[in-house]
Amino acid sequence: MPTPSTIRSVNWHLISACNYSCRFCFARNLGETPVSFSEGCRILTRLVGAGMEKINFAGGEPLLHPQLFEYCRVAHDLGMTVSITTNGSRLTPELVRTHRGYIDWIALSVDSASEETEARLGRGDGQHVGHCIRLSDAIRETGIRLKINTTVTALSRDEDMTGFVRRTDPDRWKVLQMLHIRGENDGAVADLSVTDAEFRAFADRHAGVILRGGVLPVFESSAMIEGSYFMVTPGGRVKTDTGRVIRKYSLDEVLGSGVFAYVDEGQYLRRGGVYAW
């Protein structure tokens, strides 16, 4: 029996496909055919058995997976806190209302309050920010908790996103330094990466932002991100990014040895991996 892990959350990249082309993305070459729905349900059951309390369905773009909402319902019925991280392009207020009963969190990826900057980054065609603002209203109206994910790049490092964050009014704002993963986003490093000092300056500029319930934003440097996430691939394997290169392991191997053997528990806790979800 493996030693119990303090890691309580998992990110399942359900599908590799995405309808956006964000140049900094570090999950663009996942490959793999998604597992069957029956196998996916078995994976969810095993994750719960391993102590996972929260699951985040990601991609690619998870709304491109035809059974995303069915997975959400199964995970909810298993007692998990259910989250989706999406670019929002295929999400509508109607879908939010329809599936509100078994989704606890929706995270919208917005890397700049400027439509022009988002388009230059490859996130949409100039309508992304406005669409996410409308979605944020719908999400809050249903009682689903809202999260905004922002990756800081050279195009946004000098920006002040305070007004956007206050307008969308999220329960959680996670701000990440662009992370270079070899073989994933090599072509974006030269013109989009930011130094540690530049990322700290962005964080300092937004340190006074207060979210719902008095919660503060979460700022994750690339060093904090690396190796600190429990991630499952579309094909049901576990991927790690220690050393900033992707490696994959069988789920059997990881759960048999213990998640802590593949994910840095200390870094997971230091970056706020466990919170009031």
143: left (phi over 0), alpha (psi -120 to 50) or beta: left
Q: CA-to-CA distance for 71 and 264, rounded, in angstroms?
A: 27
The pLDDT of 240-268, averaged and rounded, is 95
CA dist list (Å): 271 to 6, 112, 274:
13, 22, 9
pLDDT surpasses 80 at 143: yes
Rounded to the nearest 10 degrees, the angle between the axes of helix 68-77 and helix 37-49 is: 30
pLDDT surpasses 90 at 228: yes
pLDDT surpasses 60 at 162: yes
pLDDT surpasses 70 at 1: no
pLDDT surpasses 70 at 99: yes
pTM of the model: 0.95
Pick the more confident residue, 189 or 174: 174
Which three-class secondary structure state does DSSP give residue 150? strand
Q: Cα angle vertex 69, ends 63, 71, to 5°?
A: 110
pLDDT surpasses 70 at 4: no
Which three-class secondary structure state does DSSP give residue 21? coil
pLDDT surpasses 90 at 133: yes
At 270 the pLDDT is 94
At 179 the pLDDT is 92
At 28 the pLDDT is 72
The pLDDT of 96-121, averaged and rounded, is 98
Q: How far from each other are the two terminal CA atoms of the chain, in whole angstroms?
A: 28
At 31 the pLDDT is 77
Give the fold, CATH level 3, of 9-271: TIM Barrel (3.20.20)
The pLDDT of 230-239, averaged and rounded, is 97
pLDDT in tens, 11-69: 999 999 999 999 999 887 677 899 999 999 999 999 999 999 999 999 999 999 999 99
Strands in 145-152's sheet, in edge-to-edge order, are 218-220, 172-177, 145-152, 105-109, 81-86, 54-58, 9-13, 231-232, 238-240, 247-249
Output the average pLDDT for the chain: 95
By the 8 A CB rule, do 22 and 242 touch?
no
